[in-house]
Chain A
């Protein structure tokens, strides 16, 4: 895979998957705007990306969930000159037990994974549409493919997000710009730290990163990471209810 040098905005740049992906782009000489909440963490990542070959890095420490997406994005694009890629990688898993009880927790999760992500995605798509080029990549999840007892509130937000990105891709199609939702399966990141990680279904952030980097070049609008999740989710989606309801997944 050859990766082109680009002007890239990463929302949620301190997430493990985003950081691993940014390293691939850095080695190709990208210009970055790195967005996240913690300036010290962003600084460490920016420094690392520069050493790895990034042409320029600037950091913006804001809370993407609360920020005014449209205004902030405009400022970022001005810093970069133009926007070739926007990776939306922030998100939260939430605690299943708490989510089923606590309305505030639900609102927070939906605001993080869904409401604010819509605002950023739409703001980005407007810019890409005008430019008639560039790609929006949003991190979804296989959890959005079929509601399952283990994480359906989280899954619902990711399902909504996938539908949104598909729609944006549809809208952008005639312009030459693109939108992709990348759906990882089980990934060993701080978000899943409490899980027991046994078996071949777990991947590393770097594995997912390679797929994200590839989807910046081509493919979409739905990309599974790694691709075997496409087959797994196909089976799960097609499983008849009477079988599905017996699975403890």
Chain B
């Protein structure tokens, strides 16, 4: 059986939609097609659903191996909560399978439309980072295909170096063919949630400190459009899995979608400001509630392709982590810089990461506080504003999240990920990405 063809495509963007370069894409559906593809002459990169924001899931000089067609389950032990699945399986489908028997993902990013392979290759984190760590901590084994070594089963015991390079390894250590994962027990498909408004960052730190021991999930939304005395106000959300209730998974049929790109002027400071004002006051009223996991973990997923709201020029996300000792000093600086530049959006999220170590050499999560903000792409102004944030991150020894990045200077990457040189020794000689060429060469 012949291998699938490489197709030139101009519709392969990442989630931020800023980078618009043609990609050569091949879409395999079976493992047997992969060895032939890894042997292609140009560089390649395995990708998932392109929910990364910048250029870490693009490879303009070479080709992309789109893994979404490899979306089969291999085994599921409903007693022990162990799942093995092909890398292209989407988290949403995993939940459909496992929730009815009382198992949930050990941790989940803010969207369920990412692949298992993509989640591992970014070592993703969720609202429960302080209690569960990143997803890599729960990976038991990885099926990895290398251009130089063929098929390998990578576990922390069997391939120490390759394991820590592959988790969070941005697809650069080979093609992840399958993943075996430990799931987490749940008694119900619901979360008991509390929403607490706070007026400033001091109140945020206090709420965080008080919550981490008692709540499995915490996160805060920050209104970074309001100025003056309102800087740093927001809503703190915390929750625990309900102990009783049904185990009915989410429905995927009710998707709304943004069918076309919005005019670029739709999301301006004024409209975003108005949204934030309304959202703040709406949330302020709600205090305790019981929510299904879908609106709790994936509030944005109810609108498919919401990224198109940012129009043709797309958006840049800026997500950094600042180490524990420095965060209280750094975050206020960043917020005032963001408010001053006037370029921010709805989505400013602040969360404290716990002390559980991430297993990957390039893993992003580390103890401290992480701030994530979307910026509509306004060209040079936006880039300059972000460069000013870089300075703060650098000064306070923080790091930027490669999954959200499309522009960080190589200098900052190398400072943020001191293991990068050791990592580069473990990379697959055939793999590369736009991101990697930018930060490592």
Nearest B residue to A41, CB-CB: B30
Q: For the complex, is A44 an interface residue (Cβ under 8 Å from B)?
A: yes
Near A by CB (< 8 A), chain B positions 32-85 give 32, 69, 72-76
CA distance A235 to B5 in the complex (A): 34
Residue from B30, B32, B73 within 8 A of A51 (CB atoms): B73
CA distance A167 to B102 in the complex (A): 49
Q: For the complex, is B27 an interface residue (Cβ under 8 Å from A)?
A: yes
Tell whether, in the assembled complex, residue A40 and residue B74 are in contact, meaning their CB atoms are under 8 Å apart: no
Tell whether, in the assembled complex, residue B29 and residue A190 are in contact, meaning their CB atoms are under 8 Å apart: yes
Complex contacts, A16 vs chain B, CB 8 Å: 29, 69
Near A by CB (< 8 A), chain B positions 6-24 give 7, 11
CA distance A40 to B29 in the complex (A): 12
Q: Chain B interface (Cβ within 8 Å of chain A)?
A: 1, 4-5, 7, 11, 27, 29-32, 69, 72-76, 86, 97
Tell whether, in the assembled complex, residue A47 and residue B29 are in contact, meaning their CB atoms are under 8 Å apart: no
Residue from B7, B30, B69, B72 within 8 A of A40 (CB atoms): B30
Tell whether, in the assembled complex, residue B97 and residue A41 are in contact, meaning their CB atoms are under 8 Å apart: no
CA distance A236 to B31 in the complex (A): 41
Complex contacts, A198 vs chain B, CB 8 Å: 11
B425 CB to nearest A CB, Å: 33
Near B by CB (< 8 A), chain A positions 156-210 give 190, 193-194, 198
Is the contact region of chain B dominated by helix, strand, or loop, or is it mixed? mixed
11 A-B pairs with C-beta separation under 8 A: A38-B1, A38-B32, A40-B30, A44-B74, A47-B72, A51-B73, A52-B73, A190-B29, A190-B69, A193-B4, A193-B7
CA distance A194 to B7 in the complex (A): 7
Tell whether, in the assembled complex, residue A193 and residue B5 are in contact, meaning their CB atoms are under 8 Å apart: yes
Q: For the complex, is A45 an interface residue (Cβ under 8 Å from B)?
A: yes
A36 CB to nearest B CB, Å: 11
Tell whether, in the assembled complex, residue B74 and residue A47 are in contact, meaning their CB atoms are under 8 Å apart: yes
B401 CB to nearest A CB, Å: 30
Given A38-B32, A41-B32: A190 and B27 interface contact (C-beta under 8 Å): yes
Q: Which of A45, A193, A194, A198 has the most chain B CB atoms closer than 10 A to its own CB?
A: A193
CA distance A44 to B30 in the complex (A): 8
B45 CB to nearest A CB, Å: 19
**Shortest beta-carbon contacts, A-B, top 6:** A48-B72, A51-B73, A51-B76, A48-B73, A41-B30, A44-B72
Q: Chain A interface (Cβ within 8 Å of chain B)?
A: 14, 16, 38, 40-41, 44-45, 47-48, 51-52, 190, 193-194, 198
CA distance A48 to B69 in the complex (A): 13
Complex contacts, B75 vs chain A, CB 8 Å: 47, 51
CA distance A45 to B7 in the complex (A): 26
A155 CB to nearest B CB, Å: 23
Excluding A16-B29, A44-B72, 15 further A-B contacts by CB distance (< 8 Å) are A16-B69, A38-B1, A40-B30, A40-B31, A41-B30, A41-B32, A44-B31, A47-B74, A47-B75, A48-B73, A51-B73, A52-B97, A190-B29, A193-B7, A198-B11
CA distance A51 to B94 in the complex (A): 11
A192 CB to nearest B CB, Å: 11
Complex contacts, A41 vs chain B, CB 8 Å: 30, 32
A114 CB to nearest B CB, Å: 22
Tell whether, in the assembled complex, residue B32 and residue A40 are in contact, meaning their CB atoms are under 8 Å apart: yes
CA distance A230 to B73 in the complex (A): 35
Nearest B residue to A37, CB-CB: B1
A93 CB to nearest B CB, Å: 13
Q: Which of B7, B29, B69, B76 has the most chain A CB atoms closer than 10 A to its own CB?
A: B29
Complex contacts, B1 vs chain A, CB 8 Å: 38
Complex contacts, A48 vs chain B, CB 8 Å: 72-74
CA distance A40 to B33 in the complex (A): 11
Nearest B residue to A206, CB-CB: B252
CA distance A178 to B76 in the complex (A): 36
CA distance A51 to B71 in the complex (A): 12
Q: Which of A16, A40, A44, A194 has the most chain B CB atoms closer than 10 A to its own CB?
A: A44
Tell whether, in the assembled complex, residue B73 and residue A47 are in contact, meaning their CB atoms are under 8 Å apart: yes
CA distance A45 to B11 in the complex (A): 29
Complex contacts, B74 vs chain A, CB 8 Å: 44, 47-48, 51
B40 CB to nearest A CB, Å: 16
CA distance A194 to B1 in the complex (A): 16
Complex contacts, B11 vs chain A, CB 8 Å: 198
CA distance A26 to B11 in the complex (A): 33
Given A40-B32, A52-B97: A193 and B72 interface contact (C-beta under 8 Å): no
Tell whether, in the assembled complex, residue B72 and residue A45 are in contact, meaning their CB atoms are under 8 Å apart: yes
A84 CB to nearest B CB, Å: 24
CA distance A40 to B30 in the complex (A): 9
Complex contacts, A51 vs chain B, CB 8 Å: 73-76, 97
Q: Which of A14, A38, A40, A52 has the most chain B CB atoms closer than 10 A to its own CB?
A: A52
CA distance A41 to B32 in the complex (A): 8
